[in-house]
Amino acid sequence: MSYITSPAFEKKGYVVLDAYDQAADPQEWLNLQYVDWKSSGDTRWAPLASAFGEMECNGFWNHTPPRTDKDGVWVQANVDKAPILKARAEEPGANVGRCRVIELQPNDYAGAIYNLHQDDNNRLNPDGTGWIVRSFFNLSDDPDSVLILREDRFDPETEVRIPLPAGSQVVVDTQRFWHAVWHTGPAPRYSLISSWTSGPELDAYVQKYHGAPQAANPPLDQAVIDDAQFQMKRRLAERAATLAAQGKKDHAPKDPEA
Ligand SMILES: [Fe+2]
């Protein structure tokens, strides 16, 4: 398979862009219509673009006809309330697939590690076209919360932790990384998540906002990491045993956001 990819992601697989002045904008996300859609924790989602412009969040491949995560249709009732969020998703000029605001309730590090998953953005993506990546724009101010990325799901040495103050902007190859958010709370976290197609438009946008990997992780106590590793393995073993008892196979989580 030979997709069009962005050189900015080649080495590290993600870029942090210049921070956005979030405080200057109205809090459009508080007026959106959310749908119950459980994924990677206690969540609700407000679709801004969906497969056919309906108020729903399902993967485009679960519709008829099934297709990849491109050519999202704006959900009128929500974009009417969030013209700035829509404009931010459209700013690169890259193709937009799914575009949603996530509302995530507080969790803990061990819970986030258990929820690590890879996305499946490029399912049905035709060979030779642009590789689909995802942007995460933090809307609420959560400087103590982090987006966790791991190249290897079980290896904390591969972990990247990106702080999420209001206005933080990260673009990630979420099919490459195991990822989840550790949100310390106390209020829910809101983030605009868009599927973008790689190509010259996205390259120019990343360059304009000085996209680059972060210099260093915020510190985290080794005992906290060790405990989370232990809990993750225990919970996964419990899940596998439960499924085996039911005669079912256990699958690694793939795009629970789908
Ligand atoms: Fe994801």
Contacts of 163 (CB under 8 A, 6+ apart): 143, 144, 145, 146, 218
Taking alpha carbons only, the member of 180, 189, 82, 184 closest to residue 137 is 189
**Residue 253's CB: how many other CB atoms inside 10 A?**
16
Helix boundaries (H) for the chain: 7-10, 76-79, 83-90, 109-114, 200-208, 222-245
Structure tokens at 229: 């590793």
Q: Which residue spans within 129-240 are E strands per DSSP?
A: 132-138, 142-150, 159-164, 169-172, 178-182, 189-197
For residue 19, the model assigns a pLDDT of 98
State which amino acid sits at residue 19: A
Going residue by residue through the chain, which has 258 residues, state the pLDDT in tens, using 9 for 90 and above: 699 999 999 889 999 999 999 999 999 999 999 998 776 678 899 999 999 999 999 999 999 999 999 999 999 999 999 999 999 999 999 999 999 999 999 999 999 999 999 999 999 999 999 999 999 999 999 999 999 999 999 999 999 999 999 999 999 999 999 999 999 999 999 999 999 999 999 999 999 999 999 999 999 999 999 999 999 999 999 988 998 888 887 766 555 553
Give me ligand 1 centre to Cα 181, in Å: 9
Give me ligand 1 centre to Cα 161, in Å: 15
- Beta strand 178-182 pairing with 35-36: unpaired
Give me ligand 1 centre to Cα 255, in Å: 6
CA 1/CA 239 separation, integer angstroms: 34
pTM for the whole structure: 0.94
For residue 253, the model assigns a pLDDT of 56
Give me ligand 1 centre to Cα 24, in Å: 28
Give me ligand 1 centre to Cα 154, in Å: 17
The angle at the Cα of 22, spanning 18 to 25, to the nearest 5 degrees, equals: 140
Phi (first) and psi of residue 4, to 5 degrees: -80, 120
For residue 258, the model assigns a pLDDT of 39
Cβ < 5 A residues, ion ligand 1: 119, 257
Strands lying side by side in the sheet with 142-150:
159-164, 142-150, 178-182
- Beta strand 142-150 pairing with 159-164: antiparallel
Give me ligand 1 centre to Cα 175, in Å: 8
CA 89/CA 87 separation, integer angstroms: 5
Give me ligand 1 centre to Cα 224, in Å: 23
Q: Cβ-count burial of 43 within 10 angstroms (0-12 exposed, 13-18 middle, 19+ buried)?
A: buried
The angle at the Cα of 117, spanning 111 to 121, to the nearest 5 degrees, equals: 145
For residue 162, the model assigns a pLDDT of 98
- Please check whether residue 78 is in contact with residue 55, taking contact to mean a CB–CB distance below 8 angstroms: yes
CA 14/CA 135 separation, integer angstroms: 10
Give me ligand 1 centre to Cα 121, in Å: 9
- The DSSP code sequence of 42-66 is SEEEEEEEESSS-S----GGGSSS-
